[in-house]
């Protein structure tokens, strides 16, 4: 089931890039990011209310709060830089560089999370890196 969710995520991420590129024409990229963020905020809280998981908020540990907040800050910075890059660059070049985060995530997962480093992972990372450079050159 996780593969279906991941594919849907990839589809909507691609759609996000195209819609954003069209939407940020002639407006400040930070303002565009703020508008997008409000929409995401309303959608996320709406889903929490609809599925009734708000009552779980008291069960969140201090460690989880800290890392979720840090993740939110990282997301915000990522979106701000992404929208600025998308506004001034070509989507077909900005997006592959943004998706290079896959390789960076693999490295961080190995270093920080101590996830297994396999030949398959290394080869995948190398091919993604090569693909990224082919797309942007």
Residue 137, pLDDT > 90, answer no
pTM for this one? Answer: 0.84
- Residue 4 is predicted with a pLDDT of 93
Q: Say how far apart CA 92 and CA 17 lie, in whole Å.
A: 10
The pair phi, psi for residue 128, each rounded to 5°, is -65, -40
Q: Are 106 and 125 in contact (CB under 8 A)?
A: yes
Terminal Cα distance for the chain, rounded:
36
Each residue's pLDDT tens digit, 9-58: 989 988 999 999 999 999 999 999 999 999 999 999 999 999 999 999 99
- Residue 136 is predicted with a pLDDT of 87
Helix (H) or strand (E) holding 27: none
């Amino acid at each position: 089931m996780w593969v279906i969710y991941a594919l849907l995520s990839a589809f909507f991420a691609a759609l996000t890039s195209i819609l954003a590129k069209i939407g940020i024409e002639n407006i400040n990229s930070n303002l565009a990011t703020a508008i997008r963020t409000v929409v995401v905020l309303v959608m996320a809280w709406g889903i929490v209310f609809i599925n009734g998981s708000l009552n779980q908020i008291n069960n969140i540990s201090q460690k989880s709060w800290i890392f979720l907040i840090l993740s939110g800050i990282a997301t915000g910075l990522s979106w701000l830089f992404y929208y600025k890059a998308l506004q001034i660059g070509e989507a077909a070049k900005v997006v592959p560089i943004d998706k290079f985060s896959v390789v960076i995530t693999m490295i961080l997962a190995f270093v920080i999370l101590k996830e297994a480093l396999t030949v398959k992972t290394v080869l995948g990372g190398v091919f993604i890196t090569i693909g990224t450079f082919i797309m942007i050159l």
